Amino acid sequence: MSIRGVLTRFALTYITLIFIVGFTLNYFGVDSNSGVNFGILMGSIFWVCSSFANKNRRYFNKSEKTRVVIVLITINVVIQAIFGAIALSESGHETSGSVLLLSVAIIGAIHAVAIYFFVGFAKKTLIKQGIIES
């Protein structure tokens, strides 16, 4: 699996899970919260990192990891901005775009730290499982 495959798989998985979980929670009348989004993010990251390791019998090298983390953060921020803009426009509240930018910046920063650490955590987990060597 290529790095491009990892990133494409992440974007498709993350968006699909956000839609499925969002519609399911909405159907049952449950309000979505940031914990759900965070869980989807972490699950998506672990799955794509595990898939890469299983198919290549290795983990990302240093330059690949840097590239993967930067692009995962970028994908996440873009998705948050799109869904945030949709939610803001459908809320009926008159709110400026600066509120959206601030919220995306805050959530993006939190998610960026989480993405960085979870890509590393996935490696440690895969080593413990014997899928890859350190």
- Residue labelled with tokens 């919220």: 103
What is the model's pTM? 0.87
**Checking phi first, is residue 132 left (phi over 0); if not, alpha (psi -120 to 50) or beta?**
beta
Task: Look up residue 120 and give its amino acid.
Answer: G
Q: What was the pLDDT predicted at 49?
A: 96
How many Cβ atoms sit within 10 Å of the Cβ of residue 123?
Answer: 19
pLDDT in tens, 3-16: 999 999 999 999 99
Buried (b) or exposed (e) across 18-54, using 16+ Cβ within 10 A?
Answer: beebeeeeeeeeeeeeeebbeebbbebbbbbbbbbbe
Q: Sorting pLDDT into bands at 50, 70 and 90, what band is 25?
A: confident
